[in-house]
Structure 1
Amino acid sequence: MTSETLTDSSGAILRAACALAGVRSDGAVVLNRSENVIYKLPGGIVARVARAGQQAAALREVEVARWLESAGMPAVRVTPDIEQPIVVDERAVTFWVELPLHRHGTPTEVAGALRKLHSLAPPMDLDLGTLDPFVRLDKRIEGATTISADDRAWMGEHLAELKERWTQLPTGLPWCVVHGDAWVGNVVATDVGEIILLDLERTSIGPPEWDTVHTAIKFKTLGQISAEEYQSFCDVYGHDVTTWAGYELLRDLREFRMTTMAAQAAVTIPADRAQTDHRIACLRGKLGPRPWSGWRPVPSQ
């Protein structure tokens, strides 16, 4: 975390939004810069400054959080008594209740949270929409100015191939409410044992396997968890996505999304450029078969 002077563009947006919301922005601290810029504010409030043009997504995330709260599903909570989102210069700002002390969830904890989420009946008065696994991928590729022309051309071709394969997705478990981005950083455990979902902007109706495939990737693609940890995940959730005919497609989609995220980060964070090239080389088969080593979190902090 670093102290924020509010002199950059997101800081200026935050300061204006805080003034409109009636909350303090002095002493703001940056928690993370990725798809959104996350700030810790005085008074136990966390603010998210979205990219331009994401007003509808920010509104839906607020509505999803309120619905999950009403359904008894532990998830991040919006700050009460603030009309949200607040939009400044086409950038949506939302305000959230700061979490207590927490850590990333274990595979078993992630499995339990997903099983509970997937069992919820969809809301009657909120249209969650259908999962879109391709959202913003074309824009990420277009904006990936640090990669080679050859890699950019390959990514465009691979994206078209993935879109075609998605039209032939095999039948799996019944579609349900899915988180949409259920990696361990978005499922946290508090010091008192509560498991909480974060980052709800991709919550929608879709194949539950989309949520479970990320943990499978951590085992089979990246070798970052053990066979015992993965088996525990499957036992708690009640299904092993790797046994399904659609696994390789969802795996390939997830790996591609992870790679385009790195490419997006590399534009403004030079330290992430080598990581982007490494991930692309893996996907293109230049570094041998899975599991692949050397994948580290992006953006660099």
Structure 2
Amino acid sequence: MNGESQIRSVLESACAAAGLSADGAEAISVGENAVYRLPGHIVARISRPGRSGVARREVAVSRWLAASGMRAVRVVREAPQSVAIDGRPVVFWRELPPHGVSRPVVVAGALRRLHGLPPPVDIGLRVLRPFARLDGRIDAATGTSDEQRCWMRGHLASLARRWADLPKGLPWCVIHGDAHEGNIVTADDGEAIVLDLERFCIGPPEWDLVQTAVNRATCGWITGDEYAAFTAAYGFDVMRWEGFELLRDIREFRMTAWLLQQVAERPQLRDQAVHRLACLRGEHGARPWTGWAPVY
């Protein structure tokens, strides 16, 4: 079986184990994780092998957010919370209501509320690991030369050394871990909904804020007015913090390494991935860098 057939087989087995139907299942996205829409307004998310602990933590985070009054993706209560098939955990979620990507000001409001919540004591949240899985992504960077991968490893080592001296900032708290406008969406009723709970952890709130700052300072994806509204809504401008350049550099590297890994299955992304790497290496001048296109 090819990769997609294998994933479909995992889906069918998981649905059978959970007492759900896979008939007419529609693929929403098939990448590192596979997401399918099932009958009855249910969404199945199939994670990579060995991620059962992460899946259980996502379910716990979803329940904690609900108890805290924050709107977030919800598990299907009638089904097992997590089913593992061939080592791949499958979680069944309620389909979201109609929604779209959020404006920066909406993201800021949701993050301010999240960062103000008392941390839970019983769901096993880890401390932020800013370099998690980057070694593997460098190894899997299809279409790069040995010299480029060597540079990436050296750059990663430099970032890790700088992280050891991260300047003091805002008090650490529960953070989303991958906070952007596609993971904090806006329902048609105007309310924010928090998605993609797998990277929730304890860490510096600036980590959540820096993605929007990168969207402005590195990519030029949002306007100055949009960024000003973001900082006003949150009450803090991460760009003015002395640790900003480090977090910016880490976020840029993560965005690039993730994209380079995706090229193996999505070769149409190669030009974008190689362009981003060239920017990191100083081959296209100062930020903001033109040519960085959003990829989902």
Give the TM-score normalised by the residue count of structure 2.
0.97
How far is 1:53 from its partner? Answer: 1.4
How far is 1:162 from its partner? Answer: 0.8
Aligned residue identity for 1:163: A
What do the CA deviations read for 1:20-70 (whole angstroms, capped 9, x no partner)?
Answer: 011111111111223311111110001111111111111111111111111
How far is 1:185 from its partner? Answer: 0.7
How far is 1:236 from its partner? Answer: 0.3
What do the CA deviations read for 1:273-292 (whole angstroms, capped 9, x no partner)?
Answer: 11110110010001111001
2:51 is equivalent to residue 66 of structure 1: no
Counterpart secondary structure, 1:48: strand
Decide which of 21, 36, 39 is 2:36's aligned counterpart. 39
What do the CA deviations read for 1:115-148 (whole angstroms, capped 9, x no partner)?
Answer: 0000000012222110111111111111113211
Counterpart secondary structure, 2:61: helix
- For 1:171 and 1:29, the matched residues in 2 are separated by 46
Counterpart secondary structure, 1:213: helix
Decide which of 200, 205, 226 is 1:203's aligned counterpart. 200
* Correspondence 1:129-168 to 2 at 5 A: 129-168=126-165
- For 2:10 and 2:230, the matched residues in 1 are separated by 41
Q: How many residues align?
A: 295
Residue in 2 that maps onto 1:221: 218
1:265–1:298: 8 Å Cα contact kept in structure 2?
A: no
- For 1:194 and 1:68, the matched residues in 2 are separated by 15
Residue in 2 that maps onto 1:270: 267
2:177 is equivalent to residue 180 of structure 1: yes
Aligned residue identity for 1:263: L
What do the CA deviations read for 1:78-121 (whole angstroms, capped 9, x no partner)?
Answer: 11132221101111111101001100010000000000000000
2:16 is equivalent to residue 19 of structure 1: yes
Residue in 2 that maps onto 1:83: 80
- For 1:25 and 1:161, the matched residues in 2 are separated by 47
2:3 is equivalent to residue 9 of structure 1: no
- For 1:7 and 1:202, the matched residues in 2 are separated by 25
Structure 1 unaligned runs (5+)?
1-5
Residue in 2 that maps onto 1:3: none
Structure 2 unaligned runs (5+)?
none
Do the aligned partners of residues 113 and 138 (structure 1) sit closer, same or farther apart at CA in structure 2, a change above 3 Å counting? same
Do the aligned partners of residues 118 and 102 (structure 1) sit closer, same or farther apart at CA in structure 2, a change above 3 Å counting? same
How far is 1:204 from its partner? Answer: 0.6
- For 1:262 and 1:144, the matched residues in 2 are separated by 8
Counterpart secondary structure, 1:76: coil
Residue in 2 that maps onto 1:257: 254
Aligned residue identity for 2:91: T
**CA-based RMSD:** 1.4
Over 3 Å off, 4+ runs: none
- For 1:174 and 1:10, the matched residues in 2 are separated by 41
Give the TM-score normalised by the residue count of structure 1.
0.95
- For 1:184 and 1:258, the matched residues in 2 are separated by 15
- For 2:157 and 2:231, the matched residues in 1 are separated by 31
